[in-house]
């Protein structure tokens, strides 16, 4: 039995030990592994685990023994699900492990921007002390309008923290949810995205990346935002037109941004299109780690192992996600509520 896990930089020591405990040959591949090398390794594999690495039709079609593709994470945009369906290879993700965790990370970015925590920390470490001045003036969250783009599990957690926790007004844009369901979650539904954006002091992105949501936030959307508003993105980088975002930040069209995800990862300080953001005081950059807590990783590794066992033992793989792309599968899967 052979199992391939890509993105070995994301350490999963418990999961790796459990898989080896099954007697499997576990092949770990680095982030950025080439398609050809991946296809060679997967050709005789029984199971493929991935996090960020693209799983193309070429890789899937050369995998003669593959019993399942397990995304140890949430987003499935890097997997050619149609190619997997054509081969009756089940694809599954782990959608629930970091709902609260990522929402906490997004909220952390929001409050750090509102209170100017990072610039003040840097100034303290440079100067030892400084006195109140207009340039250090922060903002309250209470009474502000916070917009969530995507009102699924993470968006709803974000809304609860902001509304019930900090007495903010929460509005949301999500064409896939009814106004009643969003209201139950404490979110006032707005059907037009630019209209919602124009009312917000903070905008937090929590929708999944699909062809319909790619560059959902572009030049027109930034133009609709207040010059005092902040953008938070802990979902997927490509949901935002990053060139338009850089322009909006440089011209003061928006006040700042807190980013954990990017269309092209990893970032670097020299050649990446977003490298100029490293020096901006009104931008917080994180390396795609708002999910990375001890509790979330424990949940992720445990549930990933459960899905692996189902696939390897020939049982229907449990799909908990309500993503239509996964729910369209008809072979070797069962669906959770």
pLDDT, tens digit, 9 for 90 and up, residues 27-45: 999 999 999 999 999 999 9
All CATH 3.40.50.720 domain ranges in the chain, comma separated: 2-97+294-335, 99-285
pLDDT the model gives residue 329: 97
Catalytic residue among 116, 153, 236, 307: 236
**Percentage above 90 pLDDT, the chain:** 100
Helices (H), the chain: 13-21, 35-42, 57-61, 81-86, 99-115, 117-127, 153-160, 166, 179-184, 193-199, 219-224, 242-250, 294-312, 324-327
Query: Has 236 been annotated as catalytic?
Result: yes
What is the pTM assigned to this prediction?
A: 0.92
Axis crossing angle, helix 153-160 with helix 99-115, rounded to the nearest 10:
50
Catalytic residue among 25, 265, 281, 306: 265
Pairing of strands 169-173, 145-149: parallel
- Tokens read off for 143: 């009474």
What is the pLDDT of the chain when averaged over all its residues? 97
Catalytic residue among 5, 288, 301, 310: 288
SS3 state of residue 65: coil
| CA 258 and chain centroid, separation | 13
CATH number, domain 2-97+294-335, options 3.50.50.60, 3.90.1150.10, 3.40.50.720, 2.40.30.20: 3.40.50.720
Query: Has 288 been annotated as catalytic?
Result: yes
Residues of the chain scoring pLDDT < 50: none
Q: Give the Cβ contact number of residue 279 at 10 Å.
A: 8
Q: Give the Cβ contact number of residue 77 at 10 Å.
A: 17
pLDDT the model gives residue 337: 79
CATH of the domain spanning 99-285:
3.40.50.720
State phi, psi for 47 to the nearest 5 degrees.
-150, 145
Residues near 154 by beta carbon (within 8 Å), at least 6 away in sequence = 98, 99, 102, 103, 106, 206, 234, 235
User: Distance between CA atoms of 246 and 3, rounded to whole angstroms?
Assistant: 41
Pairing of strands 283-285, 256-259: parallel
pLDDT the model gives residue 51: 97
Query: Has 9 been annotated as catalytic?
Result: no
């Amino acid at each position: 039995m052979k199992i391939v896990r890509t993105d070995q930089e994301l350490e999963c020591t418990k999961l790796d030990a459990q898989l080896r405990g099954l007697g499997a040959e576990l092949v770990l591949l680095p982030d950025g592994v080439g398609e050809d090398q991946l296809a060679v390794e997967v050709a005789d594999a029984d199971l493929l685990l991935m996090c960020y690495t693209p799983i193309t039709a070429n890789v899937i079609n050369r995998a003669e023994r593959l019993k399942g593709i397990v995304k140890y994470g949430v987003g499935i945009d890097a997997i050619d699900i149609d190619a997997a369906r054509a081969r009756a290879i089940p694809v599954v993700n782990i959608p629930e492990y970091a709902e609260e965790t990522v929402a906490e990370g997004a909220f952390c970015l929001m409050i750090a921007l509102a209170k100017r925590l990072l610039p003040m920390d840097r100034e303290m470490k440079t100067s030892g002390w400084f006195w109140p001045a207009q340039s250090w003036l922060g903002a309250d969250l209470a009474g502000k309008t916070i917009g969530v783009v995507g009102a699924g599990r993470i968006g709803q957690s974000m809304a609860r923290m902001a509304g019930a926790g900090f007495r903010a007004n929460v509005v949301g844009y999500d064409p896939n949810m009814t106004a009643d369901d969003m209201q139950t979650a404490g979110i006032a539904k707005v059907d037009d995205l630019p209209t919602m954006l124009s009312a917000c002091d903070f905008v937090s992105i929590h929708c999944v990346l699909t062809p319909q949501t790619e560059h959902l936030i572009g030049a027109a959307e930034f133009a609709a935002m207040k010059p005092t508003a902040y953008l938070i993105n802990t979902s997927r980088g490509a949901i935002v037109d990053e060139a338009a975002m850089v322009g909006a930040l440089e011209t003061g069209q928006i006040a700042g941004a807190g980013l954990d995800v990017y269309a092209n990862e990893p970032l670097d300080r020299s050649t990446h299109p977003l490298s100029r953001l490293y020096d901006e005081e009104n931008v917080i950059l994180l390396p795609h780690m708002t999910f990375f807590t001890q509790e979330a990783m424990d949940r992720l590794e445990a549930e990933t192992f459960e899905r692996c066992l189902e696939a390897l033992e020939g049982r229907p793989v449990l799909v908990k996600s309500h993503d239509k792309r996964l729910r369209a599968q008809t072979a070797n899967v069962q669906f959770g509520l």
